[in-house]
């Protein structure tokens, strides 16, 4: 009996995520996608993507990682849970094999890919262990996996909008759930998640960079556009509450100002990489292939 509420909660979280991103592909491409592009090349380096690599990019969004992999000569398949995101990826690279699919169920046979990447997608699934098991299933023995997630709880530039909401005295709605991935959002726990799914030699690298942007552009294409949980909260407010949030947002952004109309937002993320044991080692042997 105790497991049924947990299963229902995870299903509710996944349904919430579908609603969260529906219709926001264009705004995401103008705002957040410029931020998350920073980690595309480190992801591809971690899986040694190159000519002929059969690569799956999960949660492809507008296709940033997939397009970069195509430039390396990889044979790329991409999936996203949101049809709008998948459409944006297809427009970015007409030769890309893009499908609408969501973790933890992917429409591919076992051991179908040499490499799997996921750029800030694992932190948007309702059941991270089940998602990891599915990624292990579709990866061939000797293949490589690389995933990024935000360091959680969010800090630096990623926390600005949420902090502005709190400072403005706006309550967080009960129907906006906390991130399921939070317990895994630090290096040891992220590595342990990979190990528990059977990945060999899991290692986590911390990625820190500054995202240079116009705070007005960031407000229009992230906060006011309803992108992410904080954006959804702002989109629900009346003009007076939105005004209070915007004033707090401007105060917080001022601390990151570089030149007039520009800010450098500090970002903190994690990149986890691991491999699938070769067929000779899948009984649990200590030697991993492809790492």
CATH of the domain at 145: 3.40.50.150
Confirm whether 194 is domain-assigned.
yes
Q: Which residues contact 221 (CB under 8 A, 6 or more apart)?
A: 27, 30, 31, 32, 227
Residues spanned by the domain of 81:
3-155+176-212+266-278
Confirm whether 139 is domain-assigned.
yes
**Which residue, 177, 163, 217, is CA-closest to 29?**
217
d(CA 57, CA 14): 19
Confirm whether 257 is domain-assigned.
no
pLDDT of amino acid 51 = 98
pLDDT of amino acid 281 = 59
Please give the tally of structural domains in the chain: 1
d(CA 117, CA 49): 10
Task: Kindly report the pTM of this predicted structure.
Answer: 0.89
Confirm whether 224 is domain-assigned.
no
pLDDT of amino acid 280 = 58
pLDDT of amino acid 11 = 62
Instruction: Give every residue of the chain whose pLDDT is below 50, as ranges.
Output: 1-10, 283-291
Distances (CA, A) of 253 to 29, 76, 150, 198: 21, 38, 20, 42
d(CA 9, CA 15): 10
pLDDT of amino acid 221 = 84
Confirm whether 219 is domain-assigned.
no
Confirm whether 193 is domain-assigned.
yes
pLDDT of amino acid 227 = 81
Structure tokens at 42: 């480190």
Confirm whether 256 is domain-assigned.
no
Confirm whether 33 is domain-assigned.
yes
């Amino acid at each position: 009996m105790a497991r049924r509420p947990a299963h229902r909660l995870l299903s509710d979280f996944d349904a919430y995520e579908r609603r969260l991103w529906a219709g926001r592909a264009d705004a995401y491409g103008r705002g957040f996608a410029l931020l998350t592009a920073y980690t595309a090349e480190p992801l591809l380096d971690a899986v040694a993507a190159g000519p002929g690599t059969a690569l799956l990019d999960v949660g492809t969004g507008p296709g940033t990682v997939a397009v970069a992999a195509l430039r390396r000569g990889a044979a790329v398949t991409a999936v996203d849970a949101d049809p709008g995101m998948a459409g944006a990826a297809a427009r970015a690279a007409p030769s890309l094999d893009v499908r609408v699919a969501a973790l933890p169920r992917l429409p591919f046979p076992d051991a179908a890919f040499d490499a799997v990447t996921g750029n800030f997608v694992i932190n948007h699934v309702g059941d991270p262990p089940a998602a990891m098991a599915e990624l292990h299933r579709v990866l061939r023995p000797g293949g490589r996996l690389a995933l990024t997630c935000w360091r959680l709880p969010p800090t630096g530039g990623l926390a600005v909008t949420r902090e502005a909401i709190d400072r403005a005295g706006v309550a967080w709605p009960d129907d906006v759930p906390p991130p399921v991935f939070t317990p895994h959002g630090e290096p040891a726990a992220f590595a342990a998640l990979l190990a528990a799914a059977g990945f060999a030699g899991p290692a986590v690298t911390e990625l820190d960079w500054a995202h240079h942007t116009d705070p007005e552009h960031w407000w229009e294409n992230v906060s006011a556009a309803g992108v992410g949980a904080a954006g959804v909260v702002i989109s629900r407010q009346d003009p007076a509450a939105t005004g209070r949030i915007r004033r707090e947002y401007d105060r917080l952004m001022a601390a990151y100002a570089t030149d007039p109309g520009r800010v450098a937002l500090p970002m903190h993320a994690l990149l986890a990489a691991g491999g699938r044991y070769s067929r000779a080692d899948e009984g649990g042997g200590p030697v991993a292939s492809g790492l």
